[in-house]
Structure 1
Amino acid sequence: MLRIAIVGTGNISSAHIKSYLAFPERCQIAAFVDTVPEAARKRAEQLGLNVELLDSHKQLLGRDDIDLVSVCTPPFSHAEIAIDLLNDGKHVLVEKPMAPSLEECDRMIEAAKRSGKVLSIVAQNRFLDPIMNLKRVLDSGLIGRVVHAQIDSHWWRGHCYYDLWWRGRWSTEGGGCTLNHAVHHIDMLGWMMGLPTKVAALLSNASHDNAEIEDISVAALQYDGGRVAQVTSSVIHHGEEQQVIFQGENARISAPWKVYASTSKDNGFPQRNEALEEELQKYYEGLPPLAHTGHQGQIDDVLAAIETGGTPLITGESGRMTIELITAIYKAGFEQRTVELPIAKDDLYYTAQGLVDNAPHFYEKTNSVAHLGSGQEISVGGNYRDRK
């Protein structure tokens, strides 16, 4: 029986807590940690849990009665907390994004290697049937070599969203929609296609004049072999219609699921390849559903890795790859030029301070509140979440 602590009891912690509670025979939540003790107490009361209440993650150190810790704090604190816990011999699951900088990611990975403990980064959308199945179809080779990917990470957030004290600042949120919203879809792209060789990007703040950071970015990615991708990251799109599209040499597939295949006429113009479409549809429909989805699916995966001594699907290295691509988008957008990957350790943008020092302030943050809409439901995105 693994004993769990939750560090940070804000909105996203509920997804972790409810997921752990789905596995009562495998784990037990033992402690809530929050720098605002009242917030931890309220969260425990909301869920009817009798847990220890602490006000610092350091109070978990030196204890052998905590096995796994979920870190659900603002991004700027992820590295310090995770490294302390890993060095103390605890397994760690960190909410997205892994950290604002590659330097912090590397220190987290090194701490995990030294301790031999599991470090996993939340990318719960991989554990949705439409995304997992899309990956499986890609891996089947049926669509041929991928030549183009289109990532539409479309979200919408109201003006007051950035009034929360840590949001809207490069120094505390680490970035805008590219880092904190599109991280889900950029993770999917990296998982399915790997890292590009070159990135160009445009960044802007079109609707939130109470934030320093971008609320939309558009990036163009160059891969080897002539392959390209485009990534739109936004919190200004009504309807939050998100999609991941892969154009292969033989067919097009996507989440939400859609398939279209073409072959060439003698004159080079397209004609529909219904036989391949039927084959792809049959393959897709024959894939087994996931036993657990979303955060619950990822927590099941992390628990299994700890129980068996295995490796979770989403490792520290996976989280780092996503941050490297996001860092490249920021560098390209800030400097208004095409940049090459990988990002070197002596690069200005390798550290969080380097990024903050070079980031544009689209606006200055004008309001700061401790809490926003406490107890209200939050959305975790994906218009494909309930579709096979």
Structure 2
Amino acid sequence: MTRKLKVAVVGLGVGQTHISRGYLPNPERFEVAAICDIDASHLNAVGDRFGIERRETDYLEILGMDDIDVIDVCTPPGTHKALMLAALKAGKHVICEKPLVGSLADIDELLDAESRSSGHVMPIMQYRYNDGAQKAKHLITTGIAGKPYVATCEVHWLRDAHYYEHDWRRHWNDALGGVLMNHAIHANDLMFYLLGPVRSLSARIATRVNRGIEVEDCASVTVELHCGALATTSATLGSVEPLSRMRLCFENMVIETDSRPDFTAEDAPWRFIPANDEIARRIDEALAEFAPPPTGFAGQMQGFHNAICTKTPLPLTLADARHSLDFATAAYWSAKTYSPVPLPVMADHAFYHGWQNAI
């Protein structure tokens, strides 16, 4: 019989999406037993919507609930670290939205805390669980795609002054970053999930779209990957036609996804364009026998449940989040110094403890 994990969701913005798309599709695996938000009226509205009786405005009350197995952190980014450390100290498992924290030093502190806790931390990177992304990974891993050549990743969205009425989104210390950290982070993670880690990069960032904010809303990064491929990623919050697009050119095929308007893990279409009829036949055969996990949050939460209950590695770990922060740290440093940056970023680096208020 499947063990059901009891979850407390903390922060009920994107936290509602975790409930509706992650936990409710897995009713035999999870029960959302409690919710927490500092806005009492919002807390009650969400509790009524989902029929959740335990509702708290005080996070300490959540930590004290002995029957809670998992705390799902969906609060503003600047609060993540303290909430996760407290949960690990209480022996809870943690699921946390992006960006996880604001520095490599913070990630290393979390890794140390996790090593001393009975709990484990899974960062949310649900784009990896898109049906097409899983098929793409399968075609690459089996060798059918062949040698990777170049890749492009575009996150061109529209976020105007209304978006920044949530004041925390405007500032480095609260948001931890702009379009690189809070919008393009999932798509960039997906590109590196498919192609492997970054060897070096050169980046430029700017705030061109929205006046009166500290964080960047435009970015362009040129990347060299360890596999030898070259990639470019660009992001803006000023595209009058929002889209997310990725195009990966391999020896034997092109893999492409293009979603308009904003990219979502659940419905972004993917294309696999073969070099010839023989490659097309091999693609069809490989995908005919491949069964991807459920898409989006549902798939990642299912993988989390399986890992916790079978005591096997999590589908995503703090090490995966560290790779994303390594990329961001290098990009912000490159933009500040107008120089290429090799990865990984080491502990003696000027931005190891964060880039906030330094750009």
TM, length-normalised to structure 2:
0.90
**Native 8 Å contact 1:7 1:70 kept in 2:** yes
| Other-structure match for 2:170 | 168
| Other-structure match for 2:271 | 258
State the distance in 1 between where 2:327 and 2:162 align.
Answer: 28
Give the SS at the match of 1:184: helix
State the distance in 2 between where 1:150 and 1:281 align.
Answer: 25
| Other-structure match for 2:89 | 87
Structure 2 matches for 1:228-377, cutoff 5 A? 228-255=230-257, 256-262=269-275, 273-284=276-287, 286-290=289-293, 292-352=294-354, 355-359=355-359
> Which residue, out of 180, 200, 216, partners 1:178?
180
1:27-79 per-residue CA deviation (whole Å, 9 max, x = no partner) reads: 222211112222211211233x2322222322233442111010000111111
How many angstroms does 1:278 deviate by?
4.0
For 1:356, the aligned partner's letter is: Q
Uncovered stretches (5+) of structure 1, i.e. residues with no partner: 263-272, 360-388
**Native 8 Å contact 1:76 1:174 kept in 2:** yes
State the distance in 2 between where 1:174 and 1:71 align.
Answer: 16
How many angstroms does 1:86 deviate by?
1.0
How many angstroms does 1:260 deviate by?
3.8
Classify 1:275/1:25 alpha carbon distance in 2 versus 1 (closer, same or farther; 3 Å): closer
Give the SS at the match of 1:77: helix
1:219-251 per-residue CA deviation (whole Å, 9 max, x = no partner) reads: 001234642111112222233322222222333
**Native 8 Å contact 2:92 2:118 kept in 1:** no
**Native 8 Å contact 2:195 2:227 kept in 1:** no
Give the SS at the match of 2:119: coil
State the distance in 2 between where 1:129 and 1:163 align.
Answer: 34
Structure 2 matches for 1:31-46, cutoff 5 A? 31-46=34-49
State the distance in 2 between where 1:234 and 1:96 align.
Answer: 18
Give the SS at the match of 2:106: helix
State the distance in 1 between where 2:271 and 2:281 align.
Answer: 12
Give the SS at the match of 2:239: coil
> Which residue, out of 182, 207, 218, partners 1:205?
207
**Native 8 Å contact 2:254 2:272 kept in 1:** yes
| Other-structure match for 1:381 | none
Give the SS at the match of 2:98: coil
Give the SS at the match of 2:212: coil
| Other-structure match for 2:145 | 143
How many angstroms does 1:184 deviate by?
0.6
Give the SS at the match of 1:358: coil
| Other-structure match for 1:190 | 192
Structure 1 window deviating more from structure 2 (118-127 vs 55-64): it is 55-64
Higher strand proportion: 2
How many angstroms does 1:104 deviate by?
1.2
1:103-145 per-residue CA deviation (whole Å, 9 max, x = no partner) reads: 1112122222211422100011111101111111111111212
Classify 1:302/1:259 alpha carbon distance in 2 versus 1 (closer, same or farther; 3 Å): closer
**Native 8 Å contact 1:195 1:325 kept in 2:** no
State the distance in 2 between where 1:225 and 1:121 align.
Answer: 25
For 1:40, the aligned partner's letter is: L
| Other-structure match for 1:366 | none
For 1:165, the aligned partner's letter is: D
* Runs of 4 or more above 4 Å deviation: none
Structure 1 window deviating more from structure 2 (20-29 vs 121-130): it is 20-29
State the distance in 1 between where 2:299 and 2:283 align.
Answer: 25
Count of residue correspondences: 344
How many angstroms does 1:176 deviate by?
0.5
> Which residue, out of 70, 78, 86, partners 2:72?
70
Classify 1:297/1:165 alpha carbon distance in 2 versus 1 (closer, same or farther; 3 Å): same
**Native 8 Å contact 1:134 1:254 kept in 2:** no
Larger Rg: 1
State the distance in 1 between where 2:29 and 2:274 align.
Answer: 45
State the distance in 1 between where 2:283 and 2:236 align.
Answer: 31
**Native 8 Å contact 1:7 1:33 kept in 2:** yes
**Native 8 Å contact 2:69 2:93 kept in 1:** yes
| Other-structure match for 1:30 | 33
> Which residue, out of 5, 10, 16, partners 1:7?
10
1:233-283 per-residue CA deviation (whole Å, 9 max, x = no partner) reads: 222223332222222233322234334455xxxxxxxxxx33323433453
**Native 8 Å contact 2:123 2:316 kept in 1:** yes
**Native 8 Å contact 1:29 1:51 kept in 2:** no
TM, length-normalised to structure 1:
0.83
State the distance in 2 between where 1:207 and 1:245 align.
Answer: 26
Structure 2 matches for 1:49-64, cutoff 5 A? 49-64=51-66
State the distance in 2 between where 1:37 and 1:225 align.
Answer: 50
State the distance in 2 between where 1:249 and 1:128 align.
Answer: 23
For 2:96, the aligned partner's letter is: V
